């Protein structure tokens, strides 16, 4: 009898190609307070996920219910700390996207719902995974830029979706929008905010002892 080792053949989908892609935002999701660690210290931090579709990058699959072929645009997402602090990535990406800095009035409160349906350009880079993800290639967003002058604007093919704890009725369990990705729903349910709102944990709940690290934002712009 033999024992033969071979290279693992991945059947996963190829990552989005490297380069500049026109994209349109179709999802903004409040992830609530998530536990994060940095340089040996941890804290609860409010997070938000922004999702774009890239119509030039397509994916095809068979609908499980109808058996019909489906062709849809690929998606890219970025999770941010919900802060417009000068050093925050959210502020850097939004100012690059809109092509101008925030005014002081805007910094007092900026509604991320305004991002839905807005076009931009995403610079996609490939990064090698590490640890349990070693050998896997991830397509990550390096930069976000305003759409070039004269470029035709895209309309989302996906239904736009928005979720915010601030829009939830007091005393009622939050309701997720239709087709919100399951992995994002699960992330929201793991948040301290979800547990506080639904009464499934006390306000002073302690975070997990060993949280798993995450694999890691022109004047025509209407925000």
pLDDT in tens, 170-202: 767 899 999 899 999 999 999 999 999 888 754
Query: Which pLDDT score, from 0 to 100, does residue 168 have?
Result: 81
Q: Where are the alpha helices (DSSP H) in 19-162?
A: 89-98, 104-107
pLDDT band at residue 12 under the 50/70/90 scheme: low
Q: Which residue has the higher pLDDT, 39 or 160?
A: 160
Query: Which pLDDT score, from 0 to 100, does residue 204 have?
Result: 46
Query: Which pLDDT score, from 0 to 100, does residue 212 have?
Result: 33
| The pLDDT of residue 214 is above 50 | no
- Determine contact, residues 211/190, Cβ cutoff 8 Å: no
Q: For residue 128, what is the enclosing H or E element?
A: strand 119-128
**Any idea where the domains of the chain sit in the sequence?**
19-198
Query: Which pLDDT score, from 0 to 100, does residue 63 have?
Result: 86
In this prediction, residues 201-206 reach a mean pLDDT of 47
Query: Which pLDDT score, from 0 to 100, does residue 160 have?
Result: 97
pTM: 0.82
Classify 186 as helix, strand or coil.
helix
CA 85, 123, 108: angle at the middle one, nearest 5? 20
Distances (CA, A) of 158 to 16, 59, 73, 88: 18, 13, 8, 29
| pLDDT tens string 95-143 | 999 999 999 999 999 999 999 999 999 999 999 988 888 888 999 999 9
pLDDT band at residue 56 under the 50/70/90 scheme: very high
């Amino acid at each position: 009898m033999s024992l033969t080792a071979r290279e693992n053949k991945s059947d996963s989908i190829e990552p989005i190609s490297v380069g500049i892609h026109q994209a349109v935002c179709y999802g903004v999701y409040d992830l609530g307070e998530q536990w994060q660690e940095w340089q040996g210290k941890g804290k609860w931090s409010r997070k938000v996920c922004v999702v774009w579709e890239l119509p030039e990058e397509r994916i095809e699959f068979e609908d499980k219910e109808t058996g019909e072929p489906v062709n849809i645009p690929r998606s890219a997402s970025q999770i941010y700390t919900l802060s417009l602090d000068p050093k925050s990535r959210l502020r850097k990406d939004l100012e690059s996207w809109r092509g101008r800095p925030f005014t002081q009035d805007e910094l007092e409160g900026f509604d991320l719902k305004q991002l839905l349906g807005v076009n931009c350009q995403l610079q996609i880079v490939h990064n090698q995974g590490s640890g349990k993800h070693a050998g896997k290639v991830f397509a990550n967003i390096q930069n976000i830029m305003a759409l070039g002058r004269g470029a035709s604007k895209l309309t989302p093919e996906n239904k736009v979706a928005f979720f915010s704890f601030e829009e939830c009725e007091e005393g009622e369990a939050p309701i997720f929008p239709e087709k919100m990705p399951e992995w994002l729903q699960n992330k929201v349910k793991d948040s301290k905010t979800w547990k506080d709102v639904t009464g499934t944990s006390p306000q002073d709940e302690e975070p997990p002892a060993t949280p798993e690290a995450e694999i890691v934002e022109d004047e025509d712009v209407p925000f």
